[in-house]
Structure 1
Amino acid sequence: MKKVIKVIFGISFIFYLFALAMLLFLNSRGGTWSTDLSLLESVKFNSNFVPFKTISTYVQAIFDGSMNMNIPLKNLFGNLFMFLPMGIYLPFFINKINKVKIFTVLMFIVLLFIESIQLVTRRGSFDVDDLILNMLGALIGFGIWKAKVVQKLLK
């Protein structure tokens, strides 16, 4: 039974990584990139380094109806749930990541790298709020992984 679970997890992880790569790098999302601007000017224009700035804008929009409801819901919940599976997959495949401190540091580095790559390749924008929501989602996934019910199922 353990081998079957490992194979299923392995195959689903490959599909998840493929979908994640498509969403993060092959989709033209975020940012208004202009060829007239230097890279530094574009980075300045297309980045958010202020924590909770985007999140608060979207939460406010949900309550006051100032934008199409799909926009804040997709952004908030999409970023929250996009990395939730990573909180389950990483500790499943790498035993050393079974401690929350190690997982948190690793995920922060991975997420910072992803946000930076999106910015440099102009496939998105650097938004610290995306990083916060992605991290929160990964930690929720990690919490699910550590739940006694899940651990009992795997034994």
Structure 2
Amino acid sequence: MKKIVKMIFCISFVFYLFALLIVLFLGSRGASWSDLTMLEYIRYSSNIVPFKTINIYLKAMVDGSMNIDIPVKNLVGNVMLFLPMGIYLPIFFRKTNKAGIFFLSMMTMLLIVEAIQLFTRRGSFDIDDFILNILGALIGFGIMKTTYFQKLCIANPKLKVFGKY
């Protein structure tokens, strides 16, 4: 049983990473902006004002000025995108089992992802995406730390899949 559960976690982590790669770097991004210099692209496609996009989407949801699918997909999607990372990262990388190290690891990872998206023109640098992704990862980390999850998947004395936490 232990090997089966561990194998399921490993396989699902690989599929998650593959899906993350597709969503973050290979998906369709609309206009290519190829006629702009890199500095112009950075200036026009970056948002460094915290909660700017989040507020726009929340206001649009309240006043109905935008199709509800757009803000919901953006807000909920960005949170859900990294929620599994909050579960997987501490399981596979024990040092990230502590909240502070996990938080710093996620911040570093997400800043790298945002920078790669920006410099490859596969997206933009949006501090609000960063905030929502961090929030999702922290929710996942919180789920992973619950007694219920620990008993169910990790610390079950009969399974001992990933050792003692």
Render the CA deviation track for 1:89-126: whole Å, top value 9, x for unaligned: 01111111111000000000000000000000000111
Question: What is the RMSD computed on CA atoms of the aligned residues?
Answer: 1.0
The yes-or-no answer on 1:17 pairing with 2:17 is yes
**Partners of 2:138 and 2:41 in 1: CA distance:** 31
Residue ranges of structure 2 left out of the alignment (5+ in a row): 157-165
**Partners of 2:37 and 2:137 in 1: CA distance:** 34
Render the CA deviation track for 1:9-44: whole Å, top value 9, x for unaligned: 0000011001100000001226x4423221101110
Match of 2:5 in 1: 5
Are 1:26 and 1:123, in contact at CA under 8 Å, matched by a contact in 2? yes
Match of 2:56 in 1: 57
Match of 2:75 in 1: 76
**Partners of 1:96 and 1:35 in 2: CA distance:** 41
Are 1:28 and 1:124, in contact at CA under 8 Å, matched by a contact in 2? no
Task: List structure 1 runs of 4+ shifted beyond 4 angstroms.
Answer: none
**Partners of 2:34 and 2:117 in 1: CA distance:** 16
Render the CA deviation track for 1:40-87: whole Å, top value 9, x for unaligned: 011100010000000000000000011111110000000000000000
Per the TM alignment, residue 2 of structure 1 is displaced from its structure 2 partner at its CA by 2.3
**Partners of 1:60 and 1:3 in 2: CA distance:** 49
Report which of the two structures shows the higher radius of gyration computed on alpha carbons: 2
**Partners of 1:34 and 1:7 in 2: CA distance:** 43
Are 1:33 and 1:42, in contact at CA under 8 Å, matched by a contact in 2? no
* TM-score between both structures, scaled by the size of structure 1: 0.96
Aligned length: 154
The yes-or-no answer on 1:43 pairing with 2:42 is yes
Q: Give the partner amino acid of 1:64.
A: D
The share of aligned pairs that are identical, in percent, is 61
Q: Give the partner amino acid of 2:107.
A: F
Please identify, of 45-54 and 92-101, the stretch whose mean Cα deviation from structure 2 is larger: 92-101
Q: Give the partner amino acid of 2:13.
A: F
Q: Secondary structure at the match of 2:83?
A: coil
Residue ranges of structure 1 left out of the alignment (5+ in a row): none
* TM-score between both structures, scaled by the size of structure 2: 0.90
